Amino acid sequence: MSSSVTAAPEASKLAGEVDPKGYAAAVAKARGRVVLVNFWATWCVPCREEYPDLTRLEKAYRGKGLAVLGISIDSAKDLAAVDKFLAKMQPGFPNYRKASGGDDQIFIESVDKDWGGELPFTVLYARDGRKAKVLSGKQSYATFEAAVQELLK
């Protein structure tokens, strides 16, 4: 598993799997930066649509203090589709897959207690690790950028 939360040479492949504890650890590792976490799945059309904006945003703000993490909600049987998607998108940030097994409700509530489980879903953390904003559903580049800029101030 990659320990990097910035651009990694293997970022076009899954960096590993996360359970609630692993998720918290991945976010904590990037403390000191503004962290944007995007939850996506290959079967989720709006997720696929907004993903290129996230890769663009990460490239633009990587040097300004932003770390982006992707978390795929795809199941194990869709791993080939995940690999294909990441190979096509070439993200400059690590992507993990939610580990199989366990009750998804526990994972969902560990991320945000008000999250209903809808995808895509994005969580922004301030530099001090505080959860600062959540964005439900597909967002525009401008919305992502405004949220990041606000936290980078």
Burial 66-98 (b: 16+ CB within 10 A, else e): bbbbbbbbbeeebeeebeebbeebebbbbbbbb
Contact code string over 38-57 relative to another protein, x by CB under 8 A: ---x-xxxx-----------
Half-sphere exposure of 11 (CA within 13 A, CB side): 18
The residue from 75, 90, 140, 149 that contacts another protein (CB under 8 A) is 75
Least spacing, CB of residue 114 vs another protein, in Å: 10
Nearer to another protein, 61 or 121 (CB): 121
The amino acid that residue 132 corresponds to is A
- What CA dihedral angle connects 41, 86, 38 and 105, to 10 degrees? 40
Work out whether 32 is an interface residue with another protein (CB under 8 A). Answer: no
108 lies in the binding site for another protein (CB under 8 A): yes
Binding site for another protein (CB under 8 A): 41, 43-46, 73, 75, 77, 103-105, 108-109, 115-120, 136-138
